Amino acid sequence: MTTNGTLLKRKLDKLHQAGLSHVNISIDSLVAAKNEFITRRPNTTGAALETIDRCLALGIITKLNMVAMKNFNEDEVADFVELTKDRQVAVRFIEFMPFG
């Protein structure tokens, strides 16, 4: 499953019981204001981080996708790498591809 993780936590236990074993969570910033700008929703960062921790607690293989954007979140790459020290997650850095 691929998600931004914002609403997944509410249904995660049932999905796990139904066989969910892998999750890709798209999170482009650990800074609340930046993440809210990208998702256009309030309180998304905390919800996504809670979902990540719950996935790991359930033993769900969890990968994070971060689109690195110049002059926006490129300064957070080390912070995302830091997440892998305390959590059993893989972080994938994806190149921004502007269209239009």
Domain membership of residue 41 (yes or no) is yes
Radius of gyration of the chain (CA): 13
What are the Cα distances from residue 51, in Å, to 40, 48, 70?
18, 5, 27
Q: How many residues does the chain have?
A: 100
Domain membership of residue 100 (yes or no) is no
97, two tokens: 């591809």
Please give the model's pTM, rounded to 2 decimal places. 0.90
User: Into how many domains does the chain fold?
Assistant: 1
Any idea what the CATH number is for the domain that residue 49 is in?
3.40.50
- What is the span of the domain harbouring residue 77? 2-95
Band of residue 80 on the pLDDT scale cut at 50, 70, 90: very high
Domain membership of residue 20 (yes or no) is yes
pLDDT tens sequence across 9-59: 999 999 999 999 999 999 999 999 999 998 898 989 999 999 999 999 999
Sheet with 89-95: strands ordered across? 2-3, 22-26, 61-68, 89-95
